[in-house]
Amino acid sequence: MSKTIPKHGIFGLLIILVTQIFVLLRVPFFFDYYFPLIWLGYIFLVDGLVHLFKGRSLLAEKSEFIRLFLYSTAFWAFFELVINLVYNFHPTTTYGFSGVKYMLLSALTFSTVLPAIFETTDLINALRILGKPKSRVEPLKLNRGFLYLLFLIGFLIFLTPIFKGFLIFPVMWFAFLLIFDSINYMNKEPSILQSMTEGESDIPMTLMLAGAIVALFWEFWNYWAYIKWSFMAPFFDYYRLFEVQLYWFAFLLLFPLQLFAMYHFSRFAVKRTRQAFKGEKKEPKKVVRHQKKEPKTIEFVKKKR
């Protein structure tokens, strides 16, 4: 545990304060880049707090820290493609942006999502908000046939909104979790299914809590932003918190689990691609059980079975 918050944590707090003040003062630059700046400040601040309470943080591994932003940008591009197929999600602005500027601002903004969620997960674990390091549940028993079934269900859910997107679009986000998490489990990569088969619920619970915290900050800051993201949903467009329907927060709880699965699938795919180009043979993995008694930090997302 560190005695003082590191400089980058203080710098993050200053970014948040300065950005918010200049937006209230209607300074044009901060109008345009409000979301990327405010979330960069959040990430540095939370990372500094994690370092304060744990003595180490994600920023210490600079290459992995930078890759989180790159993966997050790639995920945004994927989601943008899916969203354009179902027309349920759209940006609104108070003045016009060119297509290039919109893409740049969106990429910068959504590049912060994955780091923000993982940093928040680290902080929850560092503060032991959920109590004991391990929350035991009845272990699940999975066979390969069941994993194939999960993948198939996820794939069918993914396809359905293309034809009936207006009605079941929110459910589609569950599809990516089923698809990528089942692939990760079959390839012995870190997964939600792995934690459940080992009788642990702390990983999914911590990710979901982190998602709730990030979602609240996201919608709060989205309220102040000039580039806003709003949702259209049938039958439920009556009760809103900031720019989003209240019921949508339930689906946002699944979003970090989905990102967790996509992150590990992406790392697995990149690793396999490198091995293929280098002509390396696949090495069998050893099963590694969790042995640490302290709360897991974001290091658990890189742990292999």
Residue 254 and residue 173 in contact, taking contact as beta carbons nearer than 8 Å = yes
* Residue 87 resides in a domain: yes
Q: What is the DSSP letter of 59?
A: G
pTM listed for this prediction: 0.82
Residue 278's pLDDT is what? 77
Say if 242 falls within a structural domain: yes
- Higher per-residue confidence, 66 vs 106: 66
**Does residue 253 belong to any structural domain of this protein?**
yes
Give the tens place of pLDDT for each residue, 242-283: 566 666 666 778 889 999 999 999 999 998 888 888 776 655
Give how many domains the chain has, as a whole number.
1
28 in a structural domain: no
Q: Decide if 153 is inside a domain.
A: yes
Question: Is 18 inside a domain boundary?
Answer: no
Instruction: Calculate what percentage of the chain has a pLDDT beyond 70.
Output: 69
Count of residues for the chain? 305
**Terminal-residue alpha carbon distance, the chain:** 28
What residue numbers bound the domain in which 200 lies? 70-111+126-302
Q: Say if 64 falls within a structural domain.
A: no
- Measured between alpha carbons, how far is 249 from 256 in angstroms, rounded to an integer? 12
| Whole-angstrom distance, CA of residue 113 vs CA of residue 179 | 21
Residue 165 lies in a domain: yes
Give the tens place of pLDDT for each residue, 289-304.
444 444 444 444 444 4
Residue 296, Cβ density class (10 Å: 0-12 exposed, 13-18 middle, ≥19 buried): buried
Give all strands (DSSP E) within 2-104, no chain letters. 89-93
pLDDT in the model for residue 297: 44
pLDDT tens profile 142-180: 778 888 898 898 888 877 766 655 555 666 778 889 999
Residue among 200, 199, 174, 147 nearest 257 (CA): 174
| 221 vs 259, more confident | 259
In whole angstroms, give the CA distance from residue 45 to residue 179: 33
Strand partners, 231: 89
